Structure 1
């Protein structure tokens, strides 16, 4: 234990006491002087178990096995089936419930803790893949829609908890790198998952539903991820590399958490300008997976494209994460460079996408005379690289979103609400797009909606990214939305921070 007790600005916790909240001043720690117990025991240079690095690694592997495998399955187009209609309907149900739960997910995570939240969240992925397997042999639309809706509930909670870990566990100087590590490990799941159908369908040169073995492999791996989640520890036990803890509400009430959604916006009203970017952040998956990969390519080529898409995410994350954390450049400058980069990449990559999209329509690829392209088809290299860069762009967009939210606050409580807004709006957008695809919106219209939403959302988010991101978030800003009943002790903590 440290020699003296000080106000740790990031370790402050609010405990309800007889209907009121109390801000508690905790002991401060250093990386060389940690609490006793196995969670804080170091093994050589390996960090302690309750450190951000270890916990981020664990949650990355959970996402590797659950949403990573889900992404690989979805990346095949149509959930691995020839007809994408069932997957469209399942995903409409999925993202509809995800949108509703997503808005409240930060509140749920603050109440239940990250370990229970992620463990529960992993269950939905197993059921979703199992329902697709069942649909190959029986007509079970009710079960399929339930599986999609239930996964929306589970995924909303899982991703909110993951977001809390991502944006509040690292120090301000580590947030970009931690995101890159997570995104790389997570998308290795997508890569390996895409190799399963590639290996099992390597000789299939026609468009067809993937084999039972493919679905079974996904189910087993997803179940393993749900079990692995139980090895996590909750945020109140985490000590960062600089000795600080995460700002949390200890045993919050549901009422205080719901009120917290409003006070979060009140403390940082500019966050509303980020909402269109949140809405757009999953919109493009439907177009890429169904209008390109599933529509134009045979089974093994879809699996190859799927692999390249997630591999591109790893490559892009390994570049964008360290660049966003480059401490030789002020954070405000990095934010502006990031913004300009997003605008340029959107125009260039989606502009190239139009050159490919104008070659075909939903009607031409649906004709009986259409022969799906194989990787041996002359001219395949062009759309292959296009799909690769679509994957890289996704990583840059998502990484910029997480970094921006992390740059606005170091508070675990507030960032949980930010991530809740993010996942809720993201999923609402995805639900609309899956529904439009299910109703056979033209591929050209889908492309137009992609580039229009992405560029438009960047215009709206400009003032927040260019003005509101600061070089450092002060404790006073992070405590701007604390309960009025504890406001009288905030000056003591601020004074201690300055000391």
Structure 2
């Protein structure tokens, strides 16, 4: 941790001795921590859902459980920011991991013995945990790194989180690749035993996270913390964030981004078990490619940050148009003549690319959204609120979408139509936000005295709640004695 210096010494320009960086305080180490938890907890959860309905033979119980999970998750994401700012990001991340193995155990009992109650109980505990996980994870992934490396670290986080489905998909594929798995049905129960054991490791790993005030960035800058002194103050700040005009305009795209849970039904309707296992494994490479393309664009230094955001927006629009036009064409074909493809069948690739393009477009939009939100503030406490709101609204949308898919709609037209309409309605209000957005990096250049102008105008400060932000020199960590009361993390 940096040696503390008085504000008077720092402001007078007195030379401060360089502080040796400690590897476990670096942004890279903490990116690996958040990535490892993402890999083990939601990553393996995604691996199960990548099978189509958690690997079940019929999607309806699992879709109902997932609707419950995401309904709870939505509330906890939003209110997770005040909780995280009070108990600290490390403990929030710990609590955000403990519920996942219970859900996996429920799927095991259901798969082997037909027990349903633990699936619903596990969905409840998973919802509470996932809400806290997402509220803390987004803030760490975007708030810990240097501003110029947001895209890079967002991609590292995504690589780890997608590593869960990759490893999980490989396990499932290894256990379900035989000739007997050609037909439609459910995966073997041994899959869930492995997933449950791996997810149980996530909570201890979360405790390795460095508190934000001790993080040591490569460029010598500090993570800015301006938490409220009371939980009531946190709720008031959360309400102000929720009612901001730009956040309200972004609500449609928050909903549209992850509304497509019909993809799980699409797999169970039209593909055999081992084909679903192959899809669950290989489709993650499309997700990684999508994340890499968007992150490279968003961190490309030769293009101004505002222009990167604008270009990223239109790129996301184009890939969604391609994915959904293609999806509708194939769906109408399948509605007329429903197939049951194995990976050896001639028409397998055509249906596979529907799922690949949907996930490709979805990931491009999510990367872009998180980056956009991260450029609204340089205060990690406020960023926790923003990412919690973003993920919370995405979760409400997923809850509704999973609920919508508990019914066997003819040809999937209803969920596809709802998703298409949502995406269309989101374009214009999102563009209004993009058009008027001034990234925090630009604000800092225009007003160097007030590095967090946006926050200053939106969140009420008290003497106890404000952190003092001092000048810094590259390679040196300078901080003032800061009174943030019990909210220091």
TM-score over 0.5 for the alignment? yes
Cα drift, residue 494 of structure 1: 9.0
CA 392–199 in structure 1, closer or farther in 2 if over 3 Å, else same? same
Task: Quote the offset at 1:241 in angstroms.
Answer: 2.0
Counterpart selection for 1:434 from 398, 402, 414: 402
What is residue 223 of structure 2 aligned with on the other side?
246
The reply on whether 1:465 has 2:434 as its aligned counterpart is yes
Distance in 2 separating the partners of 1:487 and 1:352: 55
1:138 equivalent to 2:87? Answer no
Matched, 1:57 2:32: yes
Which residue does the alignment assign to 1:21?
none
Which stretch of structure 1 is more off in the superposition, 447-456 or 348-357?
Answer: 447-456
- 1:408 is paired with a residue whose SS is coil
Cα separation, 2, equivalents of 1:156 and 1:181: 21
Structure 1: 5+ residue runs without aligned partners?
Answer: 10-24, 42-47, 366-370
Aligned to 1:314: 288
Say which is worse superposed, 446-455 or 414-423, in terms of deviation: 446-455
Distance verdict in 2 for CA 1:251–1:451, change over 3 Å: closer
How does the TM-score come out when normalised to structure 1?
0.86
**Alignment partner, residue 170 of structure 2:** 195
Please name the residue that 1:385 is paired with. Answer: 353
Q: Which residue of 1 aligns with 2:196?
A: 219
- Alignment partner for residue 397 of structure 1, among 358, 365, 372? 365
Q: Give the whole-Å Cα distance in 1 for the aligned partners of 2:4 and 2:469.
A: 18
Tell me how far apart the structure 1 counterparts of residues 324 and 271 of structure 2 sit (CA, whole Å): 20
Match of 1:176 in 2: 151
TM-score (norm 2): 0.87
Residue deviations 1:291-327, cap 9 Å, x none?
x212110011001111122111111112211210111
CA contact (8 A) 1:176 1:325 kept: yes
CA distance in 2, matches of 1:65, 1:29: 44
- Asked if 1 retains the 8 angstrom alpha-carbon contact of 2:225 and 2:380, the reply is yes
Separation in structure 1 between the aligned mates of residue 275 and residue 25 of structure 2, nearest angstrom? 42
Match of 2:19 among 34, 39, 56: 34
> 1: CA distance between counterparts of 2:9 and 2:353?
49
How far off its partner does 1:488 sit?
Answer: 12
* CA distance in 2 between partners of 1:333 and 1:192 (Å): 36
Using the alignment, how far apart are the partners of 1:110 and 1:493 within structure 2? Answer: 18
Q: Which residue of 2 aligns with 1:424?
A: 392
Provide the rounded CA distance (Å) in 1 between the counterparts of 2:285 and 2:202.
21
Q: Structure 1 residues 486 and 263 mapped into 2: Cα distance closer, same or farther (>3 Å)?
A: farther
Whether 2:280 is the aligned partner of 1:295: answer no
| 2:378 maps to which of 410, 414, 434 | 410
Moved more, 207-216 or 155-164: 207-216
Structure 2 unaligned residues grouped into runs of 5+:
445-450, 474-489
- For the residues of structure 2 that align with 1:383 and 1:165, how far apart are their CA atoms? 37
Does structure 2 retain, via aligned residues, the 8 Å contact 1:168–1:411? yes
Separation (CA, whole Å) in 1 of partners of 2:314 and 2:222? 34
Deviations 1:60-118 (A, max 9, x none): 01111111110010111121110111101111110111112121011111112111111
Rounded Cα–Cα distance in structure 2 between residues aligned with 1:123 and 1:489: 32
Residues 1:103 and 2:65 aligned together:
no
Decide whether the 8 Å contact of 1:110 with 1:252 is kept in 2: no
C-alpha distance in 2 between matches for 1:255 and 1:444: 45
Worse overlay, 73-82 or 250-259: 250-259
Q: Please tell me whether the aligned partners of residues 96 and 149 of structure 1 are also in contact (alpha carbons under 8 angstroms).
A: no
User: Contact 1:113/1:234 (CA < 8 Å) preserved in 2?
Assistant: yes
Residues 479/144 of structure 1: CA separation in 2 closer, same or farther (3 Å cut): same
Task: Give, in whole Å, the separation in 2 of the partners of 1:273 and 1:395.
Answer: 21
**Structure 1 CA distance, aligned partners of 2:427 and 2:18?**
45
In structure 1, C-alpha distance between the alignment counterparts of 2:9 and 2:253, rounded to whole Å = 34
State how far apart, in whole Å, the 2-side matches of 1:304 and 1:273 are: 39
Contact 1:117 1:158 in 2 (8 A): yes
- Which deviates more, 75-84 or 255-264? 255-264
